[in-house]
Chain A
Amino acid sequence: MKLWSLLRKEYLLTMRRKKFIFMILLLPLLIGVVYQLSTNLQPGVEIKVALCNLDEESVDLVEALKERFSVVEVAGECEAQIKEMIREKEAFLGIIIPRDFTRKLEDLNKSEIYLFYDNSNPVLASYLEFFFQLSLRNYENALLSKAGEGIREEVTKIEGLLEAAKLLVGLVGYGTELMDNLNQIQEMLSKIKRMDVTFITEPVVPVKEGAFELKNEKGIGAAITFSILTLFTALLLVSSSVIWDRERKFLLRLRTSGTPNLTYILSKTLFFDLVLTVQFLVIFPLFSSFSWLELNLVSLLVSILVVTSINTLLGMLIGIFSENQGIAILLSLLLTLPFLFISGIFYPSELFPQPLRFISDVFPLSNEMNLLKESMAFGYSLQELKNLNVNLTYLLLFFLLSWLGLRFRH
């Protein structure tokens, strides 16, 4: 009965705080959309490039660049102009094609091209370089095909000459040794003719195949997004709600009314589990496909429940040990931001140095993410969930700490 009253209180208070509902619904949409956009490498705006072409013959290269970038052509004092444009944010990237660029390539020699970039923004610089390489790929392939074509033409001519020479040797009758040599040369030439010239730039082509059989490929993204989302939401919402309860002296009332701390903790956990599950349903359409139907619903539900409960209890601990809302927000950020970086979202945690990897492994977020991947992407059954036990341990630990915190601090 008391549990029901506490759940009802949480529900009514949440419904009366309109900004809460707004945050609960908007945050998953925002994080989901941002995640989708950030994993799609296509830029969302036109990339302006300042181009100074000193080589009249490099028409194909200019065309290739124009296909991907919005090109602004410059002339005259190119380098100074381009640098100024980048500093003034009029262009993201500057390119100078030198005078003898095409001639060198036609002579089958390496040719330099000059790139100017914003070195105060390394992330942008590396992405622009990536896009530049991408735009160059078709041009390079065309260049190589053309070179291959030229080689084949030359080889055909040599083969003609060789045929004539063989005929002559046969008529004169100089012996078999010379004929054998000519045959060997002919064989080598036909090998050169058959050669794929792209072999020169890309001799090994890796063919990738995942070791895991993913029942739902979109589940990986959903697991990452949902674990970050619940952590942020739970830490901020739950810690605030505990602090409000304390400020309204509700915790004092609970103690004098003989309501067990366990009932209070349970009501918060259950209610915020529900709120966070609603958030899951909000992001679900962003990652939905029919492959969700192949997942094990029981393990999906259990993993969502375990992860949301862990984060709710963590939020509760922050609320219990923070003197006020400001400290609670600082603590929440302290727990989320650094660990977001070491959870393996931005850089694989497997490649971290040992101490950092240890922290990453110990922090709940990485383990939560792994558990959600197992249920959302791999479609494991309850028995197959390898990360369930470690997460259950967190759940018990935080439950115990919350109980002790309430008992001794309030």
Chain B
Amino acid sequence: MFFRKEKKVFPLMIKELSGGPRGIIKNMTFKVRKRDIFGIVGLSGSGKTTLLKLILGLVKKRSGKVSFYGRPLWRSKKLIGFCPQGHSFFEELTVRENILLFGSLYGAKSPLEVGRRMLKELEMEEKLDEPASNLSGGQKTRLNVILSLLHEPKLIFMDEPFTGLDYYNRNLLWNFIKKLRRRGCTVILTTHLLDEAQKNCTKLLVLKEGKKFVYGNVEDIKEKVGLDYVYEVKFKSLSKRALKEIIASCKEEGIDVLNVQIDTLLFGVREEKKRAFQRLLRCYEHEIISSRKPNINDLFLKVVSA
């Protein structure tokens, strides 16, 4: 009874999944809640795309289990969609021809109808009979997303869907993704746009070198990462020796140096280390440029520097 309920709440469950080229993904376990917009973030090469491909069975796994509503994911192919990175359609064909081709492959019942609706939602309905090669970069990216959704899947995987999009188009696509969520679709996407992921994703998974570093919503991550304040400090005439001293002292005191840019350092400080941090600053001539609550970028820097 409990398991049945859990399957309903968490349709996608990943358990101890390992594999990929040179075994980059190690022992990955997490659950995705129904209607989640689940963001996978991490540095380039941290294994985001490989993780998606592993889940989808596109690369060989070494161990682990992926289940969708309690069944192996590959048995539910009609319920899932995958939007690869870049433009994975035929530019020689028109938008309509691409929609019909991909709709047929995914077994969509009325691909043209769904395609038209989505084109309208993504502000490119007039492009239906244009050759895909005539579309702008942003329109091509949007078409790429649409072609993965023609069969109206319950779970959609998107690999870097915002690459190459300007702010307006990104916003348009985020709104579209939110609409998908409202229609009952669960979205799993990889991105390196941390601010936007923080704003729009319901859950985040931060990857570091193929391992799950932190996982949860932004508040969970803040708590797990352990940062209360972020200070941007500019030092006057900071020598290499002085910089080394500051970094060493911070390490000793449990203060995080998140970023170093010549003479400007970004510090992550927990509440209980605030006094120690102020003591440290007194030893050097400095100017505090900003002090604020940490955002996702700061958390990410902490993850990377850890």
Q: Is A252 located at the chain interface by the 8 A CB criterion? A: yes
Which parts of B102-143 form the interface with A (CB within 8 Å)?
102, 104-107
Q: Is A110 located at the chain interface by the 8 A CB criterion? A: no
Q: Are B84 and A252 in touch, CB under 8 angstroms? A: yes
> Known interface pairs A2-B105, A253-B102, A258-B78. Does A9 touch B93 (Cβ–Cβ under 8 Å)?
yes
Q: Is B247 located at the chain interface by the 8 A CB criterion? A: no
Q: Is B209 located at the chain interface by the 8 A CB criterion? A: no
Q: Is A87 located at the chain interface by the 8 A CB criterion? A: no
A1 to chain B, nearest CB (A): 6
Q: Which of B88, B92, B100 contacts A16 (CB 8 A)?
A: B92
Which parts of A230-258 form the interface with B (CB within 8 Å)?
248-250, 252-258
Q: Is A200 located at the chain interface by the 8 A CB criterion? A: no
Q: Are A2 and B104 in touch, CB under 8 angstroms? A: yes
B58 to chain A, nearest CB (A): 6
Q: Which of B56, B78, B104, B147 has the most CB of A within 10 A?
A: B104
Q: Is A72 located at the chain interface by the 8 A CB criterion? A: no
Q: Are B105 and A254 in touch, CB under 8 angstroms? A: yes
* Alpha-carbon distance between A109 and B247 when the two chains are bound, in angstroms: 110
A256 CB contacts on chain B under 8 angstroms: 56, 58, 77, 80-82
Q: Are B104 and A1 in touch, CB under 8 angstroms? A: yes
Closest to B82 in A: A256
* Alpha-carbon distance between A250 and B98 when the two chains are bound, in angstroms: 11
Q: Is B228 located at the chain interface by the 8 A CB criterion? A: no
Q: Are A249 and B84 in touch, CB under 8 angstroms? A: yes
Q: Is B89 located at the chain interface by the 8 A CB criterion? A: yes
Which parts of A1-35 form the interface with B (CB within 8 Å)?
1-2, 4-6, 8-9, 12-13, 16-17
Binary flags per residue of B62-105, CB closer than 8 Å to A gives 1, else 0: 00000000000000011011101011111011000100111011
Binary flags per residue of B6-50, CB closer than 8 Å to A gives 1, else 0: 000000000000000000000000000000000000000000000
B146 to chain A, nearest CB (A): 13
* Alpha-carbon distance between A257 and B107 when the two chains are bound, in angstroms: 8
Q: Is A259 located at the chain interface by the 8 A CB criterion? A: yes
Q: Are B93 and A249 in touch, CB under 8 angstroms? A: no
Q: Are A9 and B56 in touch, CB under 8 angstroms? A: no
B84 CB contacts on chain A under 8 angstroms: 249, 252-253
Q: Which of A1, A17, A252 contacts B88 (CB 8 A)?
A: A252
A18 to chain B, nearest CB (A): 10
Q: Which residue numbers of B lie inside 8 Å of A, CB to CB? A: 56, 58, 77-78, 80-82, 84, 86-90, 92-93, 97, 100-102, 104-107, 147
Q: Which residue numbers of A lie inside 8 Å of B, CB to CB? A: 1-2, 4-6, 8-9, 12-13, 16-17, 248-250, 252-259
The 6 A-B pairs of least Cβ separation, nearest first, read A249-B88, A258-B77, A5-B104, A16-B92, A256-B82, A257-B105
In the complex, besides A9-B90, A16-B92, A249-B84, 5 extra interface pairs with C-beta distance below 8 angstroms are A16-B93, A248-B87, A252-B88, A253-B102, A258-B77
Interchain residue pairs with CB less than 8 A apart (13)? A9-B90, A9-B101, A12-B92, A13-B92, A248-B87, A248-B88, A252-B58, A253-B84, A253-B105, A256-B56, A256-B81, A258-B78, A259-B105
